[in-house]
Amino acid sequence: MFTKLGNGLTKHPWVFIIFWVVVLGAATSGAFYGYGQGGLFDRMESSDAMATGTESYTVQELTSTADGGVSLMVVVDGVPAAELATDQAKAGAVVMALQDVATNPWVAHVTSPFSFDNPQDQQALAFYSSAGTGFALTLTLKPEYSDLSSSALHTAQTSLDDTVAGLETALTKVFPDAKAYELSNTKVGDAINELVREDLVRSESIGLPVALLLMIIVFGGVIAAGLPLLGALVSIAIGLGAVWALTFYRGVDSFNLNVISIIGVALSIDYGLLVVSRYREELARILDSDDVPTVVPGAKHSEVDVKAVVAQAVRTTVATAGRTVSFSALTIACALAGLFAMEAAIFKTIAFGAVVVTVLAVATAVTLVPAVIVLLGNILVRPALPARIPGLKQLTKVLSDSSSDHGVFSRLAHFVHRHPWLIMAVVAAILATMAWPIRDIKARSAFSDYLPADAAVTKATNIVQEQYPALRTQSIVVVADTTADKALPLYQYLSTVPNVDFVMPPQPLASDPTRSVLSAHLAVADQVGDEVTDLVVALREGTDFDPGYPILVGGQAAQQHDLVEMIWEDAPLAGAIILIAVLVLLFLMTGSLIVPIKALIINSLSLLASLGATVFIFEHGLLGMPKVLGLETFIIVCSISFGFGLAMDYEVFLLARIKEYWDAGLSNDEAVERGLQRSGRIITSAAAIIVAVFVGFTFGDMVAIKEIGVALAITVLTDATLVRMLLVPATMTVLGRWNWWAPKPLAWVYEKFKIIH
């Protein structure tokens, strides 16, 4: 297969390039312009319900249904209540301004403290700030608002924005410090989308130039260094188009783009680096051989047929490195596919994007990059300018891809052969120390953590949470399967719970008056912390109070609890998919039963160590990272899944070369030495570049993306140094020929179905 692909690439490179240009154009047009259906960022969502199908999700669905349809809140600040009560002229001006709001074509009804006949009514007072500095109003929108198309919705939202801005302008005429903040799901989503967009641009504008600089040093040339980045950019752009298409079938949270970008850049650089390095290795081998293709048969090397040399090197590269990266991508795709077993919709969406971008990364590496190499011809054959600059020339020589069977990494392997048990003990101790903080890991899913710190919608949210007890997001929401009057004992119980500072009396459920809804707020710093979660569990289990009728408990803490429970329930199946896929694929690659089992054990230890180090960094706010109360739940899952995939990437790179020499008849130790020498620089160079890219993601403002950037950077750094350079060679030294053992029935299976060049 790969031999035929290599032949096709060398004969018709333009066919492959035109194909990628067409696909790229179609994908980017969809992602950025949307073909009249709205671009990707216009179609993004910011869902606060990750655990769909759970009890908390049911509560959210029941309580979000209102007879009036969609509504939004406007928070007015800088309008003292005392002046409204004593100055009739100012109060009248405010009422007139609110009447203007009601004239908006999309507003069906305005509810404000001035809407009630009795200003001292409890419902009216709920719309006044407890600090006496303003008031709130809700705008119930017309039912047809919910059915608007993407473009019409944008027009309607602009109209509402203008109305709120007009309200602020009118209020400032009598209250110069007045501010009007709009608070709605749309505005929150827009703010998060903008933060995602800014973080994406900032992270890649930092990470990619650094990656390019490092690759220039590795390859000693700008063009060779740019090829892996070309594959990365094409993969990510087409991946965004695929995610845009997915938005027509299911909701996609905006921060998925950053996650997809992270894995796309990492794998594209990995695969592109290996392909370009193998090409340069094959090029050097051909030029140093006695049968170099020449223009005139039998001529000197000065008359080398460059076109024939390039074609031969590309064919060999695709047949060898192409097979390796394709096998690696298949392994990673299977590892990522474990996320499809997760019931939570967010993981299925992430899995889709990650698998798509993995396929794109390997496809560009084995088709687009070689096709460009063929077209460049002798440009990559000649020494590049950086490789001819004094100083940089020496640095390039030290760090560049190796075309020798002997060097730094073979000597390192030789050292490991002499002290395998000591090295295993030291590395194990380091990994155990790194993993120790994982005992303190806390999974956290707080929608408020995604809000941009300086956004107007965040200001509005904070004002409501601090000054409007009846309007703020409550700690828990309870739907009782009884009428409001019979739910009073539950209301009285909630009023006695420690740290409860507000309880909303039971009200008939809008969608079903035979049921009632009530809520409570706890005066605690962390609304998804242990105290609120314990109350959720106690209410559900009826340990402290049994109301005598069924209840459903929801709220942020309940959503977090349900998501974690859902993950634990789905984890065995997801883990089984990953383990079986890796065992089967690595066995078909190596013919060994020992190597896959050892790889799974070592990679698991590496992941635990990396996750423990990440917990320690964010728990104490080290290295410039924010101090957090816990890692985002979905980030923990993604870090494990992506980290395992990247670790398998390097495992395949290393094992492919070791197996190549083992099959050639070398001893186990010699195969390890040469395999490490040939792949060591690729692994360490790729790791350094990818770590630079991951670190770039920590410069954004979204904490969740900082967390996954740090987690994956530590994973790659740990895996490429302690694990691949030391622990794997040490274990292979101890096992010796047992590395390649398999029972006879499995050996027969391998011979029949093995994956070879």
How distant, in Å, are the alpha carbons of 175, 199, 219, 288, 542 from that of 274?
65, 29, 11, 21, 59
Q: Are 10 and 315 in contact (CB under 8 A)?
A: yes
Stated as kind and residue range, the H or E segment containing 134 is strand 134-141
Write the pLDDT tens digit of every residue in 119-166.
777 888 889 998 989 999 999 888 888 777 767 877 888 899 999 999
Regarding whether 425 and 285 lie in a shared domain, the answer is: no
Regarding whether 448 and 461 lie in a shared domain, the answer is: no
Angle at CA of residue 176, ends 171 and 177, nearest 5° = 95
CA nearest neighbour of 271 among 369, 409, 397, 399: 369
CA nearest neighbour of 273 among 459, 415, 400, 176: 400
Residue 585: strand, helix, or coil: helix
Choosing from 363, 378, 402, the residue where a domain stops is 402
Q: Determine, yes or no, domain membership for 276.
A: yes
- What dihedral do alpha carbons 328, 334, 339, 343 form, nearest 10°? 170
Write the pLDDT tens digit of every residue in 363-383.
999 999 999 988 887 776 655
Q: Determine, yes or no, domain membership for 332.
A: yes
Q: Which residues of the chain have pLDDT under 50?
A: 66-68, 296, 401-402
Regarding whether 339 and 318 lie in a shared domain, the answer is: yes
Using alpha carbons only, how large is the chain's radius of gyration in Å? Answer: 31
Regarding whether 724 and 595 lie in a shared domain, the answer is: yes
Q: How far apart are CA 719 and CA 715, in angstroms?
A: 6
Q: Determine, yes or no, domain membership for 50.
A: no
CATH of the domain at 398: 1.20.1640
Choosing from 363, 384, 402, the residue where a domain stops is 402
Q: Which two tokens stand for residue 453?
A: 């710190």
Query: Would you say how long the chain is, in residues?
Result: 757
| pLDDT confidence of residue 278 | 85
How distant, in Å, are the alpha carbons of 5, 224, 406, 420 from that of 413?
34, 29, 11, 10
Q: Determine, yes or no, domain membership for 198.
A: no
Tokens 């069977």 map to which residue?
405
Q: Determine, yes or no, domain membership for 508.
A: yes
Angle at CA of residue 568, ends 567 and 572, nearest 5° = 100
For the residues of 511-567, what is the DSSP string, one character each? TEEEEEEEEEEE--S-TTSHHHHHHHHHHHHTSS---SS-EEEESHHHHHHHHHHHH
Q: Are 230 and 365 in contact (CB under 8 A)?
A: no
Regarding whether 601 and 516 lie in a shared domain, the answer is: no
Sign of CA dihedral 104, 109, 111, 112: positive
Q: Domain range holding 303? A: 1-38+220-402
Q: How far apart are CA 346 and CA 53, in angstroms?
A: 13
Contacts of 712 (CB under 8 A, 6+ apart): 262, 266, 639, 642, 643, 646, 694
Residue 191 has φ and ψ, to the nearest 5°, of -65, -40
Regarding whether 693 and 582 lie in a shared domain, the answer is: yes
CA nearest neighbour of 14 among 488, 345, 266, 374: 374
Residue 182: strand, helix, or coil: strand
Q: How far apart are CA 694 and CA 716, in angstroms?
A: 10
Considering the entire predicted model, what is its pTM?
0.83
Q: Which two tokens stand for residue 139?
A: 């705008």
Q: Are 357 and 299 in contact (CB under 8 A)?
A: no
Q: Determine, yes or no, domain membership for 199.
A: no
Stated as kind and residue range, the H or E segment containing 280 is helix 256-288
Q: Are 213 and 369 in contact (CB under 8 A)?
A: no
Choosing from 188, 212, 229, the residue where a domain stops is 188
Count of domains observed in the chain: 4
Q: Are 367 and 6 in contact (CB under 8 A)?
A: no
How distant, in Å, are the alpha carbons of 415, 680, 727 from that of 668?
15, 17, 16
| pLDDT confidence of residue 324 | 83
Regarding whether 257 and 133 lie in a shared domain, the answer is: no
Q: Determine, yes or no, domain membership for 51.
A: no
Regarding whether 321 and 385 lie in a shared domain, the answer is: yes
669-673 — which CB contacts under 8 Å span 24+ positions? 669/413, 669/417, 669/733, 669/736, 672/413, 672/417, 672/729, 672/732, 672/733, 673/410, 673/413, 673/414, 673/417
CA nearest neighbour of 377 among 311, 302, 287: 311
CA nearest neighbour of 699 among 197, 229, 207: 207
Regarding whether 504 and 462 lie in a shared domain, the answer is: yes
Regarding whether 441 and 532 lie in a shared domain, the answer is: no
CATH of the domain at 658: 1.20.1640.10
Regarding whether 510 and 371 lie in a shared domain, the answer is: no
CATH of the domain at 113: 3.30.70
Structure letter (DSSP) for residue 127: T
Q: Determine, yes or no, domain membership for 49.
A: no
| pLDDT confidence of residue 147 | 78
Regarding whether 334 and 472 lie in a shared domain, the answer is: no
